[in-house]
Amino acid sequence: MAEKLSREYAQQLDQQDELKRYRDEFYIQPGTIYFDGNSLGLLSKRAEESLLSMLDSWKKFGIDGWLKGDNPWFYFSEKLGEKSASLIGADPKEVIVTGSTTVNLHQILSTFYKPEGKRTKILADELNFPTDIYAIKSQLRIHGLDPEEHLIQVKSRDGQTLDENDIIDAMTDDVAMVVLAGVLYRSGQILDMEGLTKAARERGILIAFDLCHSIGSIPHSLSDWDVDFAFWCTYKHLNGGPGAVAGMYVNKRHFGTSPGLAGWFSSDKNKQFDMEHELTAAPDAGAMQMGTPHLLSAAPLLGSLEIFEEAGIERVREKSLKMTDYMMTLIDDELSEFDFTVANPRDDEKRGGHIFLEHPEAARICKALKENNVIPDFRTPNGIRLAPVALYNTFEEVWQVVRILKKIMTDEEYKKFENKRDVVA
């Protein structure tokens, strides 16, 4: 055990790391340990290159960039969808890069949530990220339904995780659709997406997953699991950049459904410039698009996704688990006297890509970490998220962060700060 607590042991793990070469592809500020990749991933040189290449095509071709160059703009969203498909285990035609997390959930609900007869309710949970709940409530109101009555939010037994049996029990015959996270944004719990989908299918209920904290962090098999829909952002583990264009998955069983929120990019590409006032929707997930693609916000993804194609999501997951397991080992030994609680699941099958610590002084501790050049993520009221990202963080950094945390607590460095979050946590 003593060996694992040494810096030399961490350095040995780094020497054995099959993904270590990718660290040099990212812009890392000297002297800084960045452990907030589950909130905003770092810029890679390839993402920068693909953005500059998009700008160059605009410079070189003007409007002809829609069909000219290495990556014609007219088909760019579909190309990124194809490159994203392996990360979620889907047929490329089932994936489109478009919109934002919230816009894409609105599109899914507008298109497929059809309250009829007794089936009027949407099932979610009390731990979901607020934007999903806001979108669900607004869609219920659009249908003239009261969210207090028609939104079911499954309770957490411990305030951090969900019991899948509780979710399944709530799949009653008045539920039309289920919306859940693949990985919970606070605790990092991985939900049993396959089991929950099977339960929903047996009950005739549609199911959608928010993959914001799971895509690029864990493998998925959405098509094999027969998930109906999924949606996600691309600026966390996928390193697409702030405000990067999001993604959506639609099971091929639902192809041919007219989009609830239609626009000219919902069109079949062969008909789009016919300028007809009757939409001929794309025959695949492309129908879920609305307006003109945000090309400059999508471009960095091309480079980012190429890295994932090379590294492989299975290897990314393997290293991520090793890093978070190592971090928990160090926390248990080095920080046991300081009232930290490891609130993320410890089981590999249930743990996503980050560690979630709880402490009454969490906001102050996060500020002290930043003063020590460690970038964490604070979550109200008392949560510290720490994400050692497989593509650019090291085991030695994991060792350093725990040592810095111990110094902050031992020397009470955190007491110089106010225990409240900044405007952006």
Please state the residue numbers annotated as binding site for pyridoxal 5'-phosphate: 101-102, 129-132, 210, 213, 235, 264, 292
- Measured in degrees and rounded to the nearest 5, phi and psi for residue 294 equal -85, 85
166: number of Cβ within 10 Å: 13
Distance CA 40, CA 35 (A): 10
- Residues making up the annotated binding site are 101-102, 129-132, 210, 213, 235, 264, 292
* Cβ pair 230, 209 in contact under 8 A: yes
Distance CA 210, CA 387 (A): 19
Half-sphere exposure of 23 (CA within 13 A, CB side): 20
Distance CA 349, CA 342 (A): 16
- Measured in degrees and rounded to the nearest 5, phi and psi for residue 24 equal -70, -10
